[in-house]
């Protein structure tokens, strides 16, 4: 591979949310998005018109095997991530991969092994809620001690788009997990806010909301998480909810409680009903899906830690794998960190 230390040549695979990856790389002067790939004829036609100075292909291997590509951004369907990440890493490329990193624990182990064998390579994943201004402020307040000691965090990924399971590609995959596909965002958020690993999970799931649709997997899963140090968390991946897309987040500490709302967050500093909560008006969600790309690029070019490091990706996925196992077993499962 011909690597230039000061510039990165990028290939993006999958042009749905992948288009937002393109925007993320384009916001960095050191990046040239030189190749785009999508299986669909329509997307290829669109890409040729919209991005005339890139090479557009329908064959992922043209990107993954190209010695003139330094970074591969993977935004294909969930079941394409593992194979594409492995091939890119084997070919010495840095990888930014949409969540979920992969769909099976053995796949994650293989990716881990390839990264260990080549520590120069960077891998990150689009766990984008960390870039939400309101959640960043919340984290800063937790760090500043405003919440006292945390004891309970609750995060519901209310998807509000059931049709994407019942009519879209998610329902056509050989395997789909709402925990990997959506819950992972809340798992990462809670890990990031609590700043402690999860040691054990208990979980249940069902498929009431999508019953009769032909969707074969749970459309709902909820997990209780025990964090090291005693904090308890609850994460739900709720794909059937009748409400708009929303990240329900509540954080309880000994000195304050935060509750996210669509317009503003509420910060309670008193148990008295007469004391009104403060309104936290920092933007929510307030992010574009390419907003993590800049820090990923800096992690490659400047050696700085990315906002979402490889460790963070594996940590969140390890908890998600444990949740999926706990749902299947209907029994608590210890988290095994990959
Ligand atoms: N981080 C986030 O918040 C976020 C948001 C949306 C989607 N995603 C993830 O991004 C991925 C794509 O989702 P989407 O919403 O963009 O879907 P989409 O259907 O809008 O777009 C996906 C595109 O990828 C193409 N594609 C699929 N498999 C391919 C392959 N093997 N090689 C090349 N192209 C392929 C499809 O033709 C399609 O055009 C999924 O893994 C999803 O979970 C993440």
Place of tokens 């009748």: 242
- Nearest-CA residue for ligand 1 atom 30 is 76
Q: What is the dihedral of CA 177, 181, 183, 188, to 10 degrees?
A: 130
- Nearest-CA residue for ligand 1 atom 7 is 17
Q: What does the pLDDT read at residue 2? A: 41
270 CA distance to ligand 1 middle (Å): 44
Say if residue 175 is in the same domain as residue 94: no
Boundary-marking domain end, from 98, 121, 144: 121
- Residues 240 and 209: beta-carbon distance below 8 Å: yes
Burial of 55 (0-12, 13-18, 19+ CB in 10 A): middle
Q: What does the pLDDT read at residue 5? A: 60
Please indicate, yes or no, if residue 306 is contained in any of the structural domains: no
60 CB within 6 A, ligand 1: yes
Boundary-marking domain end, from 79, 98, 121: 121
Q: Is the peptide bond before 231 cis (omega within 30 degrees of 0)?
A: no
Burial of 320 (0-12, 13-18, 19+ CB in 10 A): buried
Residue 212, Ramachandran bin (φ over 0: left; ψ between -120 and 50: alpha; else beta)? left
Q: What CATH code is carried by the domain that includes residue 182?
A: 3.30.360.10
Say if residue 204 is in the same domain as residue 285: yes
43 CB within 6 A, ligand 1: yes
Cα 173 from Cα 151, distance rounded (Å): 38
Cα 51 from Cα 35, distance rounded (Å): 10
Say if residue 151 is in the same domain as residue 269: yes
75 CA distance to ligand 1 middle (Å): 5
User: Token pair for residue 267?
Assistant: 């910060």
221 CA distance to ligand 1 middle (Å): 22
How many domains in the chain? Answer: 2
Say if residue 211 is in the same domain as residue 146: yes
If one residue of 11, 12, 17 were mutated to test the ligand 1 pocket, choosing by the most ligand atoms within 8 A of its CB, it would be 17
198 CB within 6 A, ligand 1: no
Q: Supply φ then ψ for residue 290, to 5 degrees.
A: -100, 10
Say if residue 157 is in the same domain as residue 281: yes
Say if residue 223 is in the same domain as residue 261: yes
Helix (H) or strand (E) holding 160: none
Is the entire prediction scored with pTM above 0.75? yes
Say if residue 255 is in the same domain as residue 138: yes
pLDDT in tens, the chain (338 residues): 444 468 999 999 999 999 999 999 999 999 999 999 999 999 999 999 999 999 999 999 999 999 999 999 999 999 999 999 999 999 999 999 999 999 999 999 999 999 999 999 999 999 999 999 999 999 999 999 999 999 999 999 999 999 999 999 999 999 999 999 999 999 999 999 999 999 999 999 999 999 999 999 999 999 999 999 999 999 999 999 999 999 999 999 999 999 999 999 999 999 999 999 999 999 999 999 999 999 999 999 999 999 999 999 999 999 999 999 999 999 999 999 99
14 CA distance to ligand 1 middle (Å): 5
Cα 89 from Cα 119, distance rounded (Å): 11
Say if residue 136 is in the same domain as residue 31: no
> Which residue from 329, 321, 308, 335 is spatially nearest to 177, judged by alpha carbons?
321
39 CB within 6 A, ligand 1: yes
320 CA distance to ligand 1 middle (Å): 20
If one residue of 77, 83, 86 were mutated to test the ligand 1 pocket, choosing by the most ligand atoms within 8 A of its CB, it would be 77
Say if residue 183 is in the same domain as residue 325: yes
Q: What does the pLDDT read at residue 70? A: 98
155 CA distance to ligand 1 middle (Å): 24
If one residue of 47, 72, 75 were mutated to test the ligand 1 pocket, choosing by the most ligand atoms within 8 A of its CB, it would be 75
Q: Supply φ then ψ for residue 285, to 5 degrees.
A: -70, -30
- DSSP letters for 215-255: --S-SEEEEEEEETTS-EEEEEEESS-SS-SEEEEEEEESS
DSSP 8-class letter at 179:
I
Residue 26, Ramachandran bin (φ over 0: left; ψ between -120 and 50: alpha; else beta)? alpha
- Residues 308 and 125: beta-carbon distance below 8 Å: yes
Residues spanned by the domain of 103 = 8-121
182 CB within 6 A, ligand 1: no
Say if residue 46 is in the same domain as residue 154: no
Q: What CATH code is carried by the domain that includes residue 44?
A: 3.40.50.720
Say if residue 151 is in the same domain as residue 199: yes
- Nearest-CA residue for ligand 1 atom 18 is 16
Ligand 1 atom with the shortest distance to the CA of 181: 43
Cα 263 from Cα 261, distance rounded (Å): 6
């Amino acid at each position: 591979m011909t690597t230039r230390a000061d510039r990165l040549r990028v290939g993006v695979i999958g042009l749905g949310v992948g288009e937002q990856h393109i925007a993320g790389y384009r916001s960095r002067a050191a990046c040239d998005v030189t190749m785009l790939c999508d299986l669909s004829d329509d997307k290829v036609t669109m890409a040729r018109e919209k991005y005339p100075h890139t090479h557009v292909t329908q064959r992922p291997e043209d990107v993954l095997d190209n010695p003139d590509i330094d970074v591969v951004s993977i935004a294909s369907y969930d079941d394409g991530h593992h194979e594409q990440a492995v091939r890119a890493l084997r070919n010495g490329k840095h990888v930014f991969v949409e969540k979920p990193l992969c769909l099976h624990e053995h796949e994650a182990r293989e990716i881990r092994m390839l990264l260990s064998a080549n520590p120069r390579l960077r891998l990150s994943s689009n766990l984008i809620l960390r870039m939400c201004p309101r959640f960043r402020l919340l984290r800063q307040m937790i760090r500043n001690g405003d919440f006292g000691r945390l004891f309970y965090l609750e995060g519901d990924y209310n998807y509000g788009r059931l049709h994407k399971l019942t009519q879209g590609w998610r329902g056509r995959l050989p395997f789909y997990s709402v925990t990997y596909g959506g819950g992972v965002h809340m798992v990462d958020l809670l890990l990031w806010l609590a700043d402690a690993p999860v040691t054990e999970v208990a979980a249940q799931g069902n498929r009431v909301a999508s019953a009769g649709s032909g969707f074969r997997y749970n459309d709902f899963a909820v997990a209780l998480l025990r964090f090291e140090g005693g904090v308890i968390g609850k994460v739900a991946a709720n794909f059937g909810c009748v409400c708009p897309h929303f990240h329900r987040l509540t954080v309880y500490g000994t000195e304050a409680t935060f509750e996210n709302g669509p317009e503003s967050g509420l910060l309670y500093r008193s148990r008295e009903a007469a004391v009104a909560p403060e309104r936290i008006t920092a933007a929510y969600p307030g992010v574009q899906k390419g907003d993590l790309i800049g820090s990923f690029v800096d992690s490659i070019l400047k050696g700085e830690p990315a906002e979402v490091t490889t460790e963070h990706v594996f940590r969140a996925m390890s908890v998600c794998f444990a949740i999926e196992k706990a749902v299947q077993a209907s029994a608590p499962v210890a988290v095994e960190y990959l």
